[in-house]
Amino acid sequence: MAKEFRLPDVGEGIAEAEIARWLVQEGASVKEDQELVEIETDKAVVTLPSPHVGKVTKLHAKEGDIVKVGQVLVSFNDADAPASSLRPTEKKDMGTVVGTIGDEEEIVEVPQPVKAIPAVRARAKELNVDLTHVQGSGPGGRITKEDVESASVRTDDKADVSPDSYGPVERIPLRGLRRTIAKRMAAARQHVPDVTIWEDADISDLEVVRSKEKKLAAAKGIKLTYLPFVIKATLSALKTHPYLNATLDEEAEQIVLKKYYNIGIAVDTTDGLMVFAIKQADQKNILELAKEISALAEKARTRKLELSELRGSTFTITNYGVIGASYGTPIINYPEVGILGIGKIEDQPAVKDGQIMIRKIMPLSLAFDHRVVDGVEAARFLNVVIDHLEDPNLILLEGK
């Protein structure tokens, strides 16, 4: 008897998803709960298991296709048949490994099959090379980085370009994380009349505290950056100015003040920007925040975040200072009301107690929804953040 598997709502009203990778082929026999397909939705990669036993008679979408909830993904003939796995390894890797990984890494089998270590797969993704069309020159037919780069040159020579009025162009499908980012940014710009203000924080005293305590943190396996301190300073400001910890319900014409504090943290990945949420951030101390930030950032870079870890933030912080930028106009993580940008920390001349001296300066950029917050309140909010960063004793006194 024929059966169908349709795209389910994988969480919180998801309307559509992209087929990231098929884990079975037509004609394969599968067993119940065997992994069928990896889909990308709302910045997360989710693996869907088979609800049936039987043979796959048809895959109704290709990798890269956008499918709607309720749309048929797989047709089965559920006649009893010995289940066979198309993928001999249980390790899953979407090719988003950051940095260099040595050749001693485990070889990962992909559906065709193809042999390539994660670093090679990451390079192939960067160059838009399909590994199934690459002949491996390494031991046992393993694909090397050189194979991928050579294939990239050949692909470029055969690129399908469509000229515009001035010359050749290349059209790249808007898919995956970049498609999600585009939709989110468009929604934010469409709905939010945002304004940005800039100020500097003298964090010289905070640096003394951080430098002293980072050794204690390192002994516990925790990297202590400035970010946990910024979160603590932001929490104090949010409690003082609750309209920054809110959303605007346009249909009901209500400002919804959130009585909980989930801080979104923007992190750069090879596929684009992702925002994970530190839940109940006000209930965690500096070291707990540092540990959670590190763990979730790594999961973001390897695309292992759960949907629940991407949802529920009430205010977002983005740190573009790590790439050398000082100021910006960060786009609000809609439907939130504000976002705080952290710029590049530098030693700069400053006046303190009537004397010019070198101080450590952190640039801050606050973007806010002017429908909910006026400039005066936003400036006062930012002043609270700066006060706590400049006098870390305020953070320590407030504890959790």
My answer on whether 329 and 199 are in the same domain is yes
- Catalytic annotation present for 133: no
My answer on whether 183 and 64 are in the same domain is no
My answer on whether 66 and 186 are in the same domain is no
Report how far residue 136's alpha carbon sits from residue 289's, in angstroms, rounded to the nearest whole number. 44
What value does the mean pLDDT of the chain take? 84
pLDDT above 60: residue 100:
no
My answer on whether 393 and 280 are in the same domain is yes
Domain closes at, from 49, 77, 105: 77
- E strands, 136-262, are 194-202, 246-249, 254-257
* 35 is a domain residue: yes
Query: How many domains does the chain divide into?
Result: 2
* 258 is a domain residue: yes
My answer on whether 55 and 186 are in the same domain is no
Which of 302, 292, 317 shows the shortest CA–CA distance to 382?
Answer: 317
Characterise 247 by phi-psi region: left (phi > 0), alpha (psi -120 to 50), beta (else): beta
Place of tokens 């390494």: 138
* 160 is a domain residue: no
Contact between 342 and 362 (Cβ < 8 Å):
yes
Q: Which of 52, 133, 241, 370 is catalytic?
A: 370
My answer on whether 371 and 258 are in the same domain is yes
My answer on whether 324 and 212 are in the same domain is yes
Which of 397, 322, 365, 357 shows the shortest CA–CA distance to 204?
Answer: 357
Range of the domain at 313: 178-398
pLDDT (average), residues 224-244: 97
pLDDT of residue 272: 83
pLDDT above 80: residue 159:
no
DSSP 271: T
Q: What is the CATH number of the domain that holds 27?
A: 2.40.50.100
My answer on whether 36 and 185 are in the same domain is no
Summarize pLDDT for 30-40 with one digit per residue, the tens.
Answer: 988 898 998 88
Domain closes at, from 77, 106, 129: 77
Which of 366, 217, 386 shows the shortest CA–CA distance to 285?
Answer: 217
Report how far residue 328's alpha carbon sits from residue 321's, in angstroms, rounded to the nearest whole number. 10
My answer on whether 386 and 240 are in the same domain is yes
Q: What is the CATH number of the domain that holds 366?
A: 3.30.559.10
pLDDT above 90: residue 359:
yes
* 125 is a domain residue: no
* 57 is a domain residue: yes
* 313 is a domain residue: yes
pLDDT (average), residues 376-399: 92
Q: What is the pTM of this model?
A: 0.67
Report how far residue 84's alpha carbon sits from residue 39's, in angstroms, rounded to the nearest whole number. 22
* 304 is a domain residue: yes
Which of 230 and 271 is assigned the larger pLDDT? 230
pLDDT of residue 175: 78
Q: What six digits make up the tokens of 166?
A: 């001035």
My answer on whether 73 and 215 are in the same domain is no
My answer on whether 353 and 241 are in the same domain is yes
* 200 is a domain residue: yes
DSSP characters over 76-112: EE-S------S-S------S---S---TTSPPEEETT
Report how far residue 108's alpha carbon sits from residue 101's, in angstroms, rounded to the nearest whole number. 13
Domain closes at, from 77, 107, 126: 77
pLDDT above 60: residue 252:
yes
pLDDT of residue 136: 83
pLDDT of residue 105: 38
pLDDT of residue 365: 98
pLDDT of residue 43: 57
Q: What six digits make up the tokens of 245?
A: 């910890």
Contact between 290 and 222 (Cβ < 8 Å):
yes
Which of 128 and 274 is assigned the larger pLDDT? 274
Q: Is the link from the previous residue into 8 a cis peptide, with omega within 30 of 0?
A: no
Summarize pLDDT for 160-189 with one digit per residue, the tens.
Answer: 556 777 888 887 787 777 787 888 888 888
pLDDT of residue 106: 36
Report how far residue 211's alpha carbon sits from residue 259's, in angstroms, rounded to the nearest whole number. 33
Place of tokens 């349709």: 6
